[in-house]
Protein backbone atom coordinates (compact mmCIF):
# COMPACT_ATOMS: atom_id res chain seq x y z
CA UNK A 1 0.00 0.00 0.00
CA UNK A 2 1.37 3.39 -0.91
CA UNK A 3 1.72 6.16 1.65
CA UNK A 4 -0.87 8.23 -0.26
CA UNK A 5 -3.32 5.30 -0.19
CA UNK A 6 -2.75 4.88 3.54
CA UNK A 7 -3.40 8.59 4.20
CA UNK A 8 -6.57 8.46 2.10
CA UNK A 9 -7.75 5.37 3.98
CA UNK A 10 -7.01 7.06 7.30
CA UNK A 11 -8.95 10.20 6.34
CA UNK A 12 -11.89 8.02 5.24
CA UNK A 13 -11.63 6.04 8.50
CA UNK A 14 -11.90 9.25 10.54
CA UNK A 15 -15.10 10.18 8.72
CA UNK A 16 -16.54 6.67 9.08
CA UNK A 17 -15.64 6.51 12.80
CA UNK A 18 -17.48 9.78 13.37
CA UNK A 19 -20.45 8.85 11.17
CA UNK A 20 -20.88 5.29 12.48
CA UNK A 21 -19.66 5.75 16.07
CA UNK A 22 -17.13 2.92 15.80
CA UNK A 23 -13.40 2.32 15.89
CA UNK A 24 -11.90 1.73 12.44
CA UNK A 25 -8.81 -0.47 12.26
CA UNK A 26 -6.57 -1.98 9.63
CA UNK A 27 -6.38 -5.74 10.20
CA UNK A 28 -5.23 -8.89 8.43
CA UNK A 29 -2.55 -9.33 5.81
CA UNK A 30 -2.11 -5.59 5.15
CA UNK A 31 -0.30 -5.44 8.49
CA UNK A 32 2.27 -8.05 7.55
CA UNK A 33 2.52 -8.32 3.74
CA UNK A 34 4.15 -5.87 1.37
CA UNK A 35 1.64 -6.69 -1.39
CA UNK A 36 -1.57 -7.95 0.25
CA UNK A 37 -4.34 -9.30 -1.97
CA UNK A 38 -6.81 -6.93 -0.33
CA UNK A 39 -7.02 -4.44 2.50
CA UNK A 40 -9.02 -5.63 5.51
CA UNK A 41 -10.68 -2.85 7.50
CA UNK A 42 -12.58 -3.68 10.69
CA UNK A 43 -15.35 -1.44 11.98
CA UNK A 44 -15.52 -2.25 15.67
CA UNK A 45 -18.36 -1.37 18.04
CA UNK A 46 -18.70 -2.05 21.76
CA UNK A 47 -20.69 -5.27 22.20
CA UNK A 48 -23.85 -3.54 23.48
CA UNK A 49 -23.93 -1.18 20.49
CA UNK A 50 -23.29 -4.02 18.04
CA UNK A 51 -26.16 -6.02 19.55
CA UNK A 52 -28.45 -2.98 19.49
CA UNK A 53 -27.87 -2.71 15.73
CA UNK A 54 -27.83 -6.39 14.74
CA UNK A 55 -29.37 -8.41 17.58
CA UNK A 56 -27.84 -10.81 20.08
CA UNK A 57 -24.33 -12.03 19.40
CA UNK A 58 -24.42 -15.46 17.76
CA UNK A 59 -23.20 -18.42 19.79
CA UNK A 60 -23.12 -21.08 17.10
CA UNK A 61 -22.66 -21.54 13.36
CA UNK A 62 -26.38 -21.14 12.61
CA UNK A 63 -26.44 -17.91 14.58
CA UNK A 64 -23.45 -16.57 12.65
CA UNK A 65 -25.14 -17.46 9.35
CA UNK A 66 -28.29 -15.67 10.49
CA UNK A 67 -26.25 -12.57 11.42
CA UNK A 68 -24.35 -12.51 8.10
CA UNK A 69 -27.61 -13.03 6.18
CA UNK A 70 -29.65 -10.42 8.08
CA UNK A 71 -30.68 -7.44 5.99
CA UNK A 72 -29.62 -4.88 8.64
CA UNK A 73 -26.10 -6.35 8.71
CA UNK A 74 -25.86 -6.68 4.93
CA UNK A 75 -27.06 -3.17 4.11
CA UNK A 76 -24.62 -1.56 6.57
CA UNK A 77 -21.72 -3.73 5.35
CA UNK A 78 -22.58 -3.09 1.72
CA UNK A 79 -22.98 0.68 2.11
CA UNK A 80 -19.58 0.92 3.82
CA UNK A 81 -17.96 -1.46 1.32
CA UNK A 82 -19.22 0.71 -1.56
CA UNK A 83 -17.93 3.83 0.18
CA UNK A 84 -14.50 2.25 0.65
CA UNK A 85 -14.32 1.02 -2.94
CA UNK A 86 -15.27 4.44 -4.28
CA UNK A 87 -12.47 6.22 -2.43
CA UNK A 88 -9.87 3.97 -4.05
CA UNK A 89 -11.70 4.02 -7.40
CA UNK A 90 -12.01 0.21 -7.29
CA UNK A 91 -8.23 -0.16 -7.83
CA UNK A 92 -7.83 -2.06 -4.56
CA UNK A 93 -10.30 -4.38 -2.89
CA UNK A 94 -11.14 -3.15 0.59
CA UNK A 95 -12.81 -5.84 2.67
CA UNK A 96 -15.01 -4.14 5.28
CA UNK A 97 -15.69 -6.23 8.38
CA UNK A 98 -18.33 -5.31 10.94
CA UNK A 99 -17.62 -6.70 14.40
CA UNK A 100 -18.08 -6.25 18.12
CA UNK A 101 -15.05 -5.47 20.26
CA UNK A 102 -15.04 -8.99 21.73
CA UNK A 103 -14.20 -10.69 18.40
CA UNK A 104 -10.51 -11.36 17.80
CA UNK A 105 -9.12 -9.09 20.56
CA UNK A 106 -5.78 -10.92 20.39
CA UNK A 107 -5.29 -10.19 16.67
CA UNK A 108 -3.10 -7.31 15.54
CA UNK A 109 -4.96 -4.09 14.72
CA UNK A 110 -3.70 -0.74 13.54
CA UNK A 111 -6.33 1.74 14.73
CA UNK A 112 -6.97 4.26 11.98
CA UNK A 113 -9.66 6.25 13.79
CA UNK A 114 -11.93 6.36 16.81
CA UNK A 115 -15.23 8.22 17.19
CA UNK A 116 -14.92 11.92 17.92
CA UNK A 117 -17.38 14.71 18.70
CA UNK A 118 -16.37 17.02 15.86
CA UNK A 119 -17.24 16.04 12.30
CA UNK A 120 -14.03 15.48 10.32
CA UNK A 121 -13.74 16.55 6.67
CA UNK A 122 -15.74 14.39 4.26
CA UNK A 123 -13.00 14.48 1.64
CA UNK A 124 -9.24 14.25 1.22
CA UNK A 125 -7.12 15.49 -1.68
CA UNK A 126 -10.22 15.85 -3.87
CA UNK A 127 -11.73 12.45 -3.00
CA UNK A 128 -15.18 12.78 -1.42
CA UNK A 129 -16.39 10.28 1.18
CA UNK A 130 -19.96 9.18 0.49
CA UNK A 131 -22.02 6.64 2.41
CA UNK A 132 -24.87 5.54 0.20
CA UNK A 133 -28.13 4.19 1.53
CA UNK A 134 -28.64 0.63 0.34
CA UNK A 135 -32.22 -0.45 -0.38
CA UNK A 136 -33.84 -3.59 -1.71
CA UNK A 137 -36.20 -3.60 -4.67
CA UNK A 138 -39.57 -2.32 -3.54
CA UNK A 139 -38.22 -0.42 -0.51
CA UNK A 140 -38.64 3.33 -0.14
CA UNK A 141 -35.76 5.21 -1.76
CA UNK A 142 -36.47 8.58 -0.13
CA UNK A 143 -32.79 9.43 0.37
CA UNK A 144 -30.16 7.88 -1.86
CA UNK A 145 -27.11 9.20 0.00
CA UNK A 146 -26.13 9.95 3.55
CA UNK A 147 -23.29 11.91 5.02
CA UNK A 148 -21.87 13.65 1.97
- Predicted pLDDT of residue 2: 83
- Predicted pLDDT of residue 92: 84
Lowest mean pLDDT among 33-37, 66-70, 129-133: 33-37
Element (H, E) at 101: none
For the residues 76-84, what does the mean pLDDT come to? 95
- Predicted pLDDT of residue 141: 59
- Predicted pLDDT of residue 144: 45
Dihedral-angle region of residue 89 (phi above 0 means left; psi in -120 to 50 means alpha; beta otherwise) = left
Percent of the chain with pLDDT over 70: 94
The closest of 147, 94, 105, 139 to 123, measured between CA atoms, is 147
The closest of 83, 110, 104, 103 to 94, measured between CA atoms, is 83
- Cα separation, 89 vs 34, whole angstroms: 21
- Predicted pLDDT of residue 61: 87
- Predicted pLDDT of residue 82: 95
For the residues 20-44, what does the mean pLDDT come to? 93
pLDDT band per the 50, 70, 90 thresholds, residue 14: very high
Neighbours of 34 (CB within 10 A): 7
CB 12 within 8 A of CB 25: no
The closest of 15, 56, 58, 6 to 36, measured between CA atoms, is 6
Amino acid sequence: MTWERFLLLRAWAKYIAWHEGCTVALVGSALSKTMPRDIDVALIWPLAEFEAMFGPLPTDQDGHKHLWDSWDFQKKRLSLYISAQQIVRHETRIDVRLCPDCWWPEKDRLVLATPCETEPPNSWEGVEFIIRKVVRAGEEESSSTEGA
